[in-house]
Amino acid sequence: MEKEIREHLSLYGKKIIEKGLAVGPGGNISARDGEFIYLSPTGFALDEIAPEQWVKLNIKTGAVEGLKPTCEVSMHLGCYLQRSEIKAVIHTHPPLTIGLISAGIDFKPFCPDFVALLGKKVPIVSYVVPGGQELREVVVEQIKIYNVVLLINHGVVCVGESLKEAFSRSWVVEDSAKTILAGTLAGKMRYFTEQEADAIDNLPAEDFRRTLLKKL
Ligand SMILES: [Zn+2]
């Protein structure tokens, strides 16, 4: 299982860079297996981390094996401690999303994928200094209820019951930002009404898709 998790982390690290969700040493990701979490080491681009380089942290004792973990280790830990079903945390710096939310443009449901993967509401939190207790507190406060948190002038945090689910959410966030930008530039963006969003949320077909994403 440890070998598989390490390989999956390297795979999703590559996908995050490939999709332009982070650049250089930006962003950090982790996955949980029992009482351990595996985190990206600090100072690495996410597509350059070999399976054996993910940092192993014992949740109970705090013991760390390997390289120095990401500076957001406390935020990752906070998410796992908040909800036992969370198995992956992905923090990215997607440029269009950061630009839109920092400009105050609405980030609301407008299509089925948005509702199915991100939910009917995506919270946006004010800027706080990264890498410490303050960021942990504002993120964990939202993760109590939501699976996606947008951070003004910083980035995005997505959680999931698998790396696949957390990654899909991260990807859909930035893809949604592209559409919202296009719609806003072209004219007045039409968002879903509450009833339209509810109808998607209640579709059995969406339930099936969501269940598949939770599998590793
Ligand atoms: Zn960051």
Q: What is the C-alpha to C-alpha distance for residues 57 and 50, in angstroms, rounded to an integer?
A: 17
Q: How far is the CA of 111 from the centre of ligand 1 (A)?
A: 27
Q: How far is the CA of 39 from the centre of ligand 1 (A)?
A: 14
Q: How far is the CA of 25 from the centre of ligand 1 (A)?
A: 10
Q: What is the pLDDT of residues 96-143, one digit of tens each?
A: 999 999 999 989 999 999 999 999 999 999 999 999 899 999 999 999
CB atoms within 10 A of CB 204: 6
Q: How far is the CA of 94 from the centre of ligand 1 (A)?
A: 10
pLDDT at 203: 86
Mean pLDDT score of the chain: 96
* pLDDT at residue 204 greater than cutoff 90: no
Q: How far is the CA of 152 from the centre of ligand 1 (A)?
A: 11
Q: What is the pLDDT of residues 153-196, one digit of tens each?
A: 999 999 999 999 999 999 999 999 999 999 999 999 999 999 99
Yes or no: say if 127 and 152 are a contact pair by the CB < 8 Å rule. yes
| Domains located in the chain, CATH noted | 2-213 (3.40.225.10)
Q: How far is the CA of 191 from the centre of ligand 1 (A)?
A: 28
Yes or no: say if 171 and 19 are a contact pair by the CB < 8 Å rule. yes
pLDDT at 110: 98
The structure tokens 């080491």 sit at 41
pLDDT at 215: 75
Strands 36-39 and 155-160: unpaired
Long-range contacts of 22-27 (CB under 8 A, 24+ apart): 22/46, 22/92, 22/93, 22/94, 22/155, 23/93, 26/92, 26/93, 26/155, 27/90, 27/91, 27/92, 27/93, 27/155
Yes or no: say if 190 and 110 are a contact pair by the CB < 8 Å rule. yes
Q: How far is the CA of 189 from the centre of ligand 1 (A)?
A: 29
Alpha helices in the chain (DSSP H): 2-18, 73-82, 95-102, 112-113, 133-143, 163-186, 194-201, 204-213
Q: How far is the CA of 37 from the centre of ligand 1 (A)?
A: 19
Ligand 1 ion: Cβ-proximal residues, 5 Å cutoff: 155
* pLDDT at residue 209 greater than cutoff 90: no
pLDDT at 8: 97
Q: How far is the CA of 202 from the centre of ligand 1 (A)?
A: 33
Could you give the percent of the chain with pLDDT greater than 90? Answer: 91
Q: How far is the CA of 102 from the centre of ligand 1 (A)?
A: 15
Q: How far is the CA of 187 from the centre of ligand 1 (A)?
A: 32
Q: Which of 78, 67, 64, 60 is nearest to 159 (CA)?
A: 78
* pLDDT at residue 216 greater than cutoff 70: no
CB atoms within 10 A of CB 209: 14
